[in-house]
Structure 1
Amino acid sequence: MRKSFSAEFMAKVALEAIKEEKAIAEISSRYEVHRTQITNWRKRALEGIKEIFNGRREKASENKEKQIDELYRQIGKLKVENEWLKKNCTV
């Protein structure tokens, strides 16, 4: 029968494996989880961390795109206003 582990438990074990303060075999004995399982959790955790940072970059890029679009709209509006003022106002 397979054991089922909580996400909190898997994260705790994976984090301990990532720290590399103890050997995988030692962690395996302590938590009574097979070494291969710990290695898999460690890999998944590291991949998840990469995705977090990739997501931030993508969101920052989207925000910059929106800001650039808004600035171009403002420039266009100001150009139209400027042209109108040049035509209609004489000093």
Structure 2
Amino acid sequence: MTRRKRRNHAPAFKAKVALAAVKGEQTLAELAAQFDVHPNQIQDWKRRLLESAEDVFAAQADQARHSEQAIETLHAKIGQLAMENDFLSKVLGRSR
């Protein structure tokens, strides 16, 4: 019996197989035959998907928090520049 070369699957393929396993509409044996992947590999991808599902939503929360901080910094800078403009216009004797 000849051994098959080691295959590298694309992340999209792994996600597709893992989601099919999570749905539970087919058995692992059926999925293994359909996608030509060993059932243990499907179980591993399913486990990794379920473990990292929380990170998907955590990343969005981190991005929102970072955006809020950036907006606050920019608002502070706008306020500072407005004060400087007012000061300079008074010092130079110009009115707006």
TM-score by length of 1: 0.64
Equivalent residue, structure 2, for 1:6: 9
> Aligned AA for 1:4?
R
- For residues 3-33 of structure 1, what are the alpha-carbon distances to aligned partners after superposition, in whole Å with 9 as ceiling and x for unaligned? 4142143232212102121222332343343
Equivalent residue, structure 1, for 2:66: 62
Equivalent residue, structure 2, for 1:42: 46
Equivalent residue, structure 1, for 2:55: 51
More helix by share: 1
Q: Distance in 2 between matches of 1:32 and 1:74?
A: 59
Q: Which secondary structure does the structure 2 equivalent of 1:22 belong to?
A: coil
Q: Distance in 2 between matches of 1:76 and 1:32?
A: 63
Number of residues of Structure 1 aligned to a counterpart in Structure 2: 87
Shift of 1:47: 4.0
Q: Which secondary structure does the structure 1 equivalent of 2:75 belong to?
A: helix
Between 1:54-63 and 1:1-10, the stretch displaced more is 1-10
- Aligned pairs for 1:68-87 within 5 A: 68-79=72-83, 81=86
Equivalent residue, structure 1, for 2:23: 19
State the percentage of identical aligned residues.
26
C-alpha change, 1:10 and 1:77, in structure 2 (3 Å) is closer
